[in-house]
Amino acid sequence: MPTPKKKNIGRAFTLAQERYAALGVDAARALRQLAKIPVSLHCWQGDDVGGFETGGGALGGGLVATGNHPGKARTPDELRADYEKSLSLIPGRHRVNLHAMYGEFGGRRVDRDEIAPEHFRNWIAWARSNGLGLDFNPTCFSHPQAADGFTLSHRDRGIRQFWIEHCRRSRDIGAAMGRALGTPCVTNVWVPDGFKDTPADRQSPRERLAAALDEVFQKPLPAKHNLDAVEGKLFGIGAESCTVGSHEFYLGYAITRRKLLCLDAGHFHPTESIADKISSVLLYLPEILLHVSRGVRWDSDHVVTFTDELQAIAREIIATTIGWSESPLAPRRRVRLGLDYFDASINRIAAWVIGARNLLRALLLALLEPPALRAAELAGDLTARLALQEEARALPFGAVWDFYCETKGVPVGAAWLGEVKRHERKILLNR
């Protein structure tokens, strides 16, 4: 696809800026705000949730990556190179979200209850030299001790203990990352624990999970180094009937223990949107983490596309955190953003770029929302609110986005695809 001329990108932006200014929106300010929002890019899109453990087993925990597109990253260096390619095509400064199984163990078998910051030394050095923050996740799946689908809530004390130790070490690693990079690492705990068929006892596993998490979080860590998050889910493959760490479980847990609640867009009923949850949970929690994903029927992890749902999520993030809220409970940085999906059927670098660019585009659209829309609601004029909401969809926000990409030195429009294709031919197909 031909790239628009630089001069025309500038012209189109100036015209769009005028159009927005007439509606009381400062497009240049919106771009300055957008530039301050980091998105954490999930490492597991790069290799289909494989990781680098010696003798690493098959993907477990109900997670399924389908497809066999050539060229997936096989080593930490390949994964980092793929990240660099992706980040060069995404405007702004972002973060990298690692799972514990992506440590570098030097060919040795280091079990999950033995991992330590030294196994992430190269990641930390790389993040520092690329100006990236790091986020972290214990890996409570794809492991013999998780073979029956239970980890922190397991009925066997020894198995619980194993995963408690893994999660404790994960927090220490998160804190080491945050300390080294000068930006707090969000360490997010998700466990797959759940029942394929109707349980006779739902209560005891939940009591065990709460008690195990309390042990995991026992040691205080400075918030400037590590922030703990907990992530619930409705169901997974093989855990269709009951997930121990459900939404209600973690909502209560996060509120009572002052943890970040992680809302994953793919972890609810298909018509239930996390967009509507943001303003509620932020009444009771200082900060939350979003896993921006896209559920399709039974799969919670499709590449993020520019859906109504994504636009609604972005709109609520902006409206609740940097919009017009007069509430003293709503200071600025309260929603942390990460991507979470894995598609092995397309170029994996493209999958990162598509999802990240879509999320940023949706945030920009939200930042450009005309204030008249809210004024109409305040005045009780619901006709005008609806009319303005619909007209806002056709405002020239694409010109503002193109200008943003141009000024951030990343390809405008679909020009990034050419780079991904070239990289695929030169690098990926030789792997």
233 lies in the site for ligand RNT, by CB under 6 A: yes
The rounded distance, in Å, linking the Cα atoms of 262 and 291 is 7
264 lies in the site for Zn ion, by CB under 5 A: yes
> Contacts with ligand RNT in 26-65 (CB under 6 A)?
44, 49
> Contacts with ligand RNT in 330-349 (CB under 6 A)?
340
The number of C-alpha atoms within 13 Å of 363 and in the hemisphere containing its C-beta is 28
343 lies in the site for Zn ion, by CB under 5 A: no
264 is catalytic: yes
Residue 265 CB, shortest distance to ligand RNT, in Å, is 9
- Asked if 105 and 119 count as a contact pair (C-beta separation under 8 A), the reply is yes
291 is catalytic: yes
Tokens 């585009």 map to which residue? 361
- Asked if 127 and 179 count as a contact pair (C-beta separation under 8 A), the reply is no
195: partner contacted, choices ligand RNT, Zn ion, none (Cβ within 5-8 A by kind)? none
- Output DSSP code: residue 410: S
- Asked if 392 and 24 count as a contact pair (C-beta separation under 8 A), the reply is no
94-103: b (≥16 Cβ within 10 Å) or e: bbbbbbbbbb
Catalytic residue among 85, 247, 267, 277: 267
Nearest-CA neighbor of 341 among 304, 298, 314, 289? 304
Exactly one of 172, 264, 309, 316 binds ligand RNT (CB under 6 A); that residue is 264
233: partner contacted, choices ligand RNT, Zn ion, none (Cβ within 5-8 A by kind)? ligand RNT
How is residue 255 written in tokens? 């509120």
Residue 117 CB, shortest distance to ligand RNT, in Å, is 20
Distances (CA, A) of 359 to 70, 198, 387, 426: 26, 37, 25, 28
By beta-carbon proximity to ligand RNT, the closer residue of 17 and 151 is: 151
By beta-carbon proximity to ligand RNT, the closer residue of 60 and 184 is: 60
190 lies in the site for ligand RNT, by CB under 6 A: yes
* Helix count and strand count (H, E) for the chain: 14, 12
190 is catalytic: yes
369 is catalytic: no
143 lies in the site for ligand RNT, by CB under 6 A: no
Q: Which residues bind ligand RNT (CB under 6 A)?
A: 44, 49, 137, 190, 231, 233, 264, 291, 300, 340
Give me the active site residues, please: 190, 231, 233, 264, 267, 291, 299, 301, 340
Contacting positions for Zn ion (CB under 5 A): 264, 291, 340
